Structure 1
C-alpha cells in the first residue's frame, strides 16, 4: 500500500443507529462526534483503540473508510466468522466480499495485514475495493442496537502490518496472527486420539466407548502423552439419532454412570473427553432464562447471570467427573441463528434481542466463553462452531472447519484439506488448530483417507481418528499406530506450499520434508466406490 496509509487516520466515519445513519465529523485529533454520539481512535501499544459513546442512541454499526489506491496486483485472504466451509482462498479484489476479523493482502513482494486484536467487543469485518478499505464494527445486541447509556464501549483494537519484503505469505500470516493474539492458549501436550462421532453418529453406549478406549489405547505406545477418547453426542439424557440435543447433562440408559465411565477410561489408558451443547436444554428452567424455542429444547439467554451460573455448574459437574477434554458445540448457531457461511455482513439472523440490552452480542459471547473456560478446571477445551476471534486466548483447541465425513470422501477433501491449509497460520498463534477427524469407515476409500491421516499426523495439529474397531484392517491399524507415534510428539507447523493458487493444496512442508498428495486420485479402488457419490 502507499506509505501515506495509516490505520489511525480514516477518511470518514459513520454510525448506524436503530433510527438513522449519522455522519461523524472530526472534532479533534482522534475524535469524531455528531448528534450526541462520539467515537475515538487512539494509539495503544502498536494498535489503535476504537471506543464508542452513545448515551441516548441504540447503535448498530460503526464504519470507517480509508481511501487510497492499492499498489500492484492484489491477492486477498480473509478469515471466517467461526469455522471454514471449504471456501477459504486467496482471491483478487472483490468489493462485496466480507472479510471477518482480518485480511491479508499479497502483491508478490510482501504481504500486509489489516485486522483487530482477538477478543473484541464487536463483530468486525473488512472489505477492500479498488479505491480503498472499509472497516465495519457490528455492535448490535441481537437484532437491535446496543444501549450503552453512560458507558464507554471499547469496541476493538485495529492493527495494520505493512509486511516485510521477501517474507513468504505464510510467514507473514503467522506474524500477523501473533500481533492479533498476544496470549494464545495451547493444550498441555500435542493432541491425538479417538472421537466416536464419524462412525457412531450419536448412537453409542458405555460398552462401545470402553471398546473404543481399549482400541485407541492399544494403538499408542507413548507413556508420557496418552491418546484422548472423546465421547461425542449421544451420552446426554435427551439424545439419540445424532440430533445433537442439549442438556440436562446427565447420562441416559446407555450411559448410566458417567463418572464411573470416565474412571474406567482412565484405567484403560486414555484421556477421557466429552461433548456438550451448553446453550440448548430440555430442562424446566425459569421463563426469563429462555431466549427462544429451539429444535430439541429451549435456547438459553447467556446475557442473564443466572444462565451463566447454570452453565458454569453443568461444566463444573462434567469437569468433576475427571474429564481431560471438554468439546463444546453450537454456541454460534444458538446465539445468532445461522451458520458462518451465510453470515456475511449480517452476523445475526434472529429476531430476538437479549434480555440485557446494555451489552453487545460479542460481549455476551465473551462472557459465555470465559465462564466455560473457568469452569472446565484442568481439562483442555475444544470450541466447535465457536467464533474464532472470540475463542482465541480462551480455548486451547479450535475446530477451524465444518465437519469432515465418515460417509463421503468429497466432504473431507473439500472441508478438511481447505481448512487445514488456510487456517494453518493460526496454529500456535491463536490456539491449536483442529481441522477435524479422519472418519475411518467402509464408505470412504482408504487410499484417500490414508493421505488425510498422513497430512494430519505430520502437520503438528490435533489428530482425531473416528473408527469402528470391528472394521479396521491390519494395514489401517499399522498406519494409525505410525500416525499416533508422530502426532504424540511436538512437530513444526506444516506449511501449504501451493496455497496462493490452489484451494486444496497438494504440496506441503511436513516436518521439514516436502510431501505431495493426490486428493482426487482416481484408481480401481475409487471406481468400486462410485455409488457413494465421491465425484460430485
Structure 2
C-alpha cells in the first residue's frame, strides 16, 4: 500500500447544479490530511455545500484495463474496460491493470460522502457527493469527514490487487461463520406458501446437511406479512408487528423452524409502511409510504421492529429495499448522480451517506448478536455493520439467463470483498421446473467452493435422488467454509461472467451459456424486483454533475 500524495486540484460545488470553484472563493474549505497510509479529506462550509472534486495527475499507461465497483448491488454490468471512458463514474473504488502491474484507489467504508472515481489519460479524479438528499448539506460549525482515501499497487495480478484494496478499505468486518440454508423466494415468489411449507423446507435442509455441526438457516422471505394494496400495487410493507394467516404467530413459526434443527431467518422491508406514519414519512411510495431514514421517528420504528423480530426467535434478519425506499432509485439508475434531485430529508445537517450509515448502525445495534444480511443496501457504507451483503441483483428460478448475468457476475467481480467487507451473498441457487439443473448445479458448485453465502431455493417438485445428492454435497462443503483458499476468476479480464476459475490446484471450467437458446438481451420475463436491463449504462458524463 502506498500513500496518496496531495491532490493537484481541489474544487467545490456549493449548489447541486452550480459552477465549480476553488473552496475559499465560496466560503468552503477542503482539507487533505495524511492519516497513516491514507489521506483524510475534510469538508467545511459557512453555508451549504454539495460536492467536492479532487484531482491527481497520473498518466494512464497504454493498454490499461479499468474496473470499478457499484453504488449498491451490481446488476450484471461489472467488467474490465479495455477502452477506459474518461466520463464514467466508478463508485467507491477503482482498479487499473496494465503492463507494469496493477494499482487501485478507494475510500474507506462508512464514508461521509458518496464517493466515485473517474480515470482518464492524464489523471484520476475523486468526486464526493456530500448533499443531504437533493439539498446542499448545511454543516454548521462542524467539519465533515467526507472520506479517507487509500491507494494500493502490486505485481501479483489484478485479483490480488482487488483483494488488497478491499482489505485496506475495511479493517473491521463483522465476523461470522458459514451462511448456508434455504430460502423459498425463487420457487414461491411470495405467493401460495404458508408456515407448513416453510417448516417443510427447514426439514429438507436439515435432512440434506445431516449431522453437520454447523447448522443451516431457513429464511422466511417476502409473503409472510399483512400486505395492503393501493392502485393495484402490493405495498409489502409494515407494520411488522405480526404476520398474516398461518404466520400470525411468528414466534411459533420460529420455534417450529428451530425444532427441525435449523436456525430461523426472516426477511423484512424496514423503510416501507402500508399506511402514513404519524412522523417520519418521506413520500407516498409503492402503494404505501416510504419512511425517511434521517428522521428520529423512523429509527425508533425500525429499532423496535428489529428487536421484535429477534425476540420472536429469528437469528438472521434480512432487510431489503432500503436504498430504493430512501433514494427512489435502483443502483443501476444512479450514474454520476447517486442521490436524485427530488429527495428531501428531514435532517439536512447530515449527508445522505451519513444518514444511511446511521440507519445501518441502528439495525446492527438492535439486532444484538443476531446476523444481519443486507439486500439493496449500499455495501460500502454498511461494511462493518452487516455480517453479510447481497452484492448483486436477483438470480432467478424462472429464467436461467438471469442467474448467469447477475449471480456469476457479482460473484466474480465482488468476490474480493468476501470476509474483507462482509460475507458475500451472490444470491440463491434455484432448483425449479423452469430452469435447467445442469446449469444451476454448476452455480451451486462454484458458490459452495467459494465459501461465500449459499442459500438454495428448491421447489419440492424438482427433488430427485440425483438433485438431493448434488445439494447435500454442496451444502455440506459450504458449511465447512468452502474449499481452502476459495476460488479465483481466471478469464475475468475479458469475460463478464467468467467460465474459468482456479480452486486450489484445480482449474475449473463452467458452461454458463445454454447452447439451445443463447443469452437473450430482450428477456424481461423475470422482473421480480427492480432489476435493470441486460446491459446498463456506464453512468453518464461528469460535466452533468
TM-score > 0.5, shorter chain as reference: yes
Structure 1, unaligned runs of 5 or more? 25-31
Deviation, 1:511, is 4.6
What is aligned with 2:164?
Answer: 175
What is aligned with 1:136?
Answer: 127
Please give the per-residue CA displacement for 1:193-244, whole angstroms capped at 9, x wherever unaligned: 1001000101121111111111111111244211111000011122699956
- Alpha-carbon distance between aligned partners in 2 of 1:6 and 1:66, rounded to the nearest angstrom: 13
- Alpha-carbon distance between aligned partners in 1 of 2:20 and 2:464, rounded to the nearest angstrom: 66
What is aligned with 1:77?
Answer: 67
CA RMSD of aligned residues (A): 2.2
Partner residue of 2:446 out of 455, 467, 489: 455
| Count of equivalent residues | 515
- Determine whether 1:87 maps to 2:80: no
- Alpha-carbon distance between aligned partners in 1 of 2:71 and 2:338, rounded to the nearest angstrom: 8
Partner residue of 2:103 out of 112, 115, 130: 112
What SS does structure 2 have at the residue aligned with 1:382? strand
Superposition pairs for residues 186-205 of structure 1, below 5 Å? 186-187=175-176, 189-203=177-191, 204-205=193-194
Deviation, 1:452, is 1.0
Please give the per-residue CA displacement for 1:34-54, whole angstroms capped at 9, x wherever unaligned: 332111000012111111111
Deviates more, 1:449-458 or 1:75-84: 449-458
Superposition pairs for residues 154-165 of structure 1, below 5 Å? 154-161=145-152, 163-165=153-155
Q: CA separation of 1:60/1:35 partners in 2, compared to 1, >3 Å: closer, same or farther?
A: closer
Partner residue of 2:270 out of 269, 278, 296: 278
- Alpha-carbon distance between aligned partners in 2 of 1:262 and 1:117, rounded to the nearest angstrom: 37
Please give the per-residue CA displacement for 1:318-373, whole angstroms capped at 9, x wherever unaligned: 01111111000011111111111111100122513111111100101000000001
What SS does structure 2 have at the residue aligned with 1:505? coil
- Determine whether 1:45 maps to 2:36: yes
Partner residue of 2:21 out of 4, 20, 23: 23
Partner residue of 1:522 out of 515, 519, 540: 515
Please give the per-residue CA displacement for 1:354-400, whole angstroms capped at 9, x wherever unaligned: 11111100101000000001111221111001001101111110100
- Alpha-carbon distance between aligned partners in 1 of 2:470 and 2:94, rounded to the nearest angstrom: 38
Equivalent residues of 1:8, 1:41 under 8 A apart: no
What is aligned with 2:370?
Answer: 379
Please give the per-residue CA displacement for 1:448-475, whole angstroms capped at 9, x wherever unaligned: 1111111111111111110122331221
- Alpha-carbon distance between aligned partners in 2 of 1:386 and 1:446, rounded to the nearest angstrom: 30
What is aligned with 2:331?
Answer: 340
What is aligned with 2:539?
Answer: none
Partner residue of 1:263 out of 255, 267, 284: 255
Deviation, 1:267, is 0.8
- Alpha-carbon distance between aligned partners in 2 of 1:259 and 1:283, rounded to the nearest angstrom: 24
Equivalent residues of 1:202, 1:232 under 8 A apart: yes
What is aligned with 1:66?
Answer: 56
- Alpha-carbon distance between aligned partners in 1 of 2:234 and 2:208, rounded to the nearest angstrom: 30
What is aligned with 1:501?
Answer: 494
- Determine whether 1:312 maps to 2:303: yes
Q: CA separation of 1:118/1:533 partners in 2, compared to 1, >3 Å: closer, same or farther?
A: closer
What SS does structure 2 have at the residue aligned with 1:420? helix
Equivalent residues of 1:276, 1:327 under 8 A apart: yes
Deviates more, 1:468-477 or 1:93-102: 468-477
What SS does structure 1 have at the residue aligned with 2:24? strand
Equivalent residues of 1:96, 1:127 under 8 A apart: yes
Deviates more, 1:173-182 or 1:511-520: 511-520
- Determine whether 1:442 maps to 2:433: yes
- Determine whether 1:253 maps to 2:245: yes
Q: CA separation of 1:200/1:350 partners in 2, compared to 1, >3 Å: closer, same or farther?
A: farther
Superposition pairs for residues 386-401 of structure 1, below 5 Å? 386-401=377-392
Deviation, 1:289, is 1.1
What SS does structure 2 have at the residue aligned with 1:90? coil
- Alpha-carbon distance between aligned partners in 2 of 1:490 and 1:178, rounded to the nearest angstrom: 19
- Alpha-carbon distance between aligned partners in 1 of 2:26 and 2:499, rounded to the nearest angstrom: 55
Please give the per-residue CA displacement for 1:13-42, whole angstroms capped at 9, x wherever unaligned: 111112733522xxxxxxx63332111000
